Structures are given as C-alpha cells and as structure tokens.
C-alpha cells in the first residue's frame, strides 16, 4: 500500500470525522509538493542551484527580453523576504548569472537582469528538472484521463484556495 493510501486508511479507521474527501486531496497535494521539490533538487544537482536560486532565474526568464524585474517584483513573484532575496541575488551575481545595472537612488529599485550565462543555465536546468518530473506528470495525466490536464486540475485547486482568501501575497 502506498503512503497516501496508508495514511487515509488510518484516518478512516481511527478518526472517521477527519476522513473526508478533501482531507485526502490535502494529503495528496502536500505529498506531491514534497516529491516535486525533491525531483527539482535532483534535476538541479548538476547546476549547483538551490530551489530558490532556480525560482529566481525562472521568474526572470519568464519576463520579456531583457528578462528584467525590480527586487520588489521578485519579492511578489517568489514569496521571499527582502533579506533572503538580497542573499540570493548576491550569490547569483557572483556567478554572473544575473546583473544589477546601475540606477540612481535606492538599491531596492535597481533592476535585476538575467545574463546570457544565466539564460543558458536556467534553460538547461529547467530541461533537466522536467526530465526528472516527466514520469510523475505522465502518471497524473494518465490518472485523469481524456480532457483534463494535471496543470488544469491543480491550477483550479490553487485558484479556489486564492478565492477563499488563502493567498498570502495579498
């Protein structure tokens, strides 16, 4: 028996009031989150990137050229503290993966731009992460059957949580 089914069976047996359908969804989503994080770490290993560094590079790469954001926009995109962001920016800048073009005024307003080296690295890292995650994504697609993608289902679940007021970015 898999871990999730085992946990749900224990709940049904020992805590029937807890054993609702949504409890199973919650357990499965949390377990999936941990497994996807672990898969990303495996994929990122050869690139010497932490998950936070990878997320920052992905946030920049997702912007239109010249792949640039202000630190404030990065806080919002990543749910990271200003101190944590400063540390990550420093590490990535030391590796020439990002650049901080000069700007007059407050350092927090200096844009963060992806370098050519950073673009190449994040694209190769993303391909590696996707290779590791592909079997999980294929299995989810197979479980859902025709007409629903894993992304659509999980986005719908996330949106319902946001509508319920659970989005901590507001």
Specify the CATH number for the domain of residue 91. 1.10.10.10
Q: Is residue 115 pLDDT above 90, yes or no?
A: yes
Mean pLDDT of the chain: 85
Q: Is 165 left (phi over 0), alpha (psi -120 to 50) or beta?
A: left
Residue 33 located in a structural domain = no
Residue 91 located in a structural domain = yes
Residue 93 located in a structural domain = yes
Q: Which residues pair with 99 in a beta bridge?
A: 113
Q: What is the pLDDT of residues 30-89, one digit of tens each?
A: 888 888 899 999 999 999 999 999 999 999 999 999 999 999 899 888 877 778 899 999
Percent of the chain with pLDDT over 90: 44
Q: How many domains does the chain have?
A: 1
Question: Higher confidence at residue 58 or residue 19?
Answer: 58
User: For residue 107, what pLDDT is reported?
Assistant: 64
Cβ contacts of 81-87, under 8 Å, gap ≥ 24: 82/108, 84/52, 85/56
The rounded distance, in Å, linking the Cα atoms of 91 and 95 is: 7
* Mean pLDDT, residues 142-168 taken together: 74
* Domain region containing 83: 49-163
Residue 88 located in a structural domain = yes
Q: Is residue 27 pLDDT above 60, yes or no?
A: yes
User: For residue 102, what pLDDT is reported?
Assistant: 77
The rounded distance, in Å, linking the Cα atoms of 58 and 98 is: 12
Residue 170 located in a structural domain = no
Residue 15 located in a structural domain = no
Question: Higher confidence at residue 140 or residue 56?
Answer: 56
C-alpha distances out from residue 54 to 15, 116, 121, 158, Å: 40, 15, 10, 22
User: For residue 170, what pLDDT is reported?
Assistant: 47
* Mean pLDDT, residues 110-138 taken together: 94
Residue 98 located in a structural domain = yes
Residue 25 located in a structural domain = no
Q: Is residue 140 pLDDT above 60, yes or no?
A: yes
């Amino acid at each position: 028996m898999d871990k999730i089914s085992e946990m749900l069976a224990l709940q049904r047996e020992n805590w029937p009031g807890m054993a609702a359908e949504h409890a199973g969804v919650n357990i499965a989503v949390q377990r999936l989150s941990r497994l996807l994080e672990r898969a990303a770490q495996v994929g990122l290993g050869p690139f010497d990137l932490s998950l936070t560094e990878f997320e920052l590079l992905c946030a920049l790469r997702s912007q239109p050229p010249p792949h640039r954001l202000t630190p404030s926009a990065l806080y919002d995109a990543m749910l990271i503290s200003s101190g944590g962001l400063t540390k990550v920016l420093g590490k990535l800048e030391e590796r020439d993966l990002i650049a901080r073009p000069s700007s007059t005024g407050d350092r927090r307003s200096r844009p963060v731009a992806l370098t050519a080296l950073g673009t190449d690295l994040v694209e190769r890292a993303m391909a590696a992460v996707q290779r590791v995650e592909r079997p999980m994504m294929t299995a989810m697609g197979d479980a859902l059957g025709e007409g629903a993608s894993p992304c659509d289902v999980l986005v719908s679940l996330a949106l319902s949580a946001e509508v319920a007021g659970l989005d901590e970015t507001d």
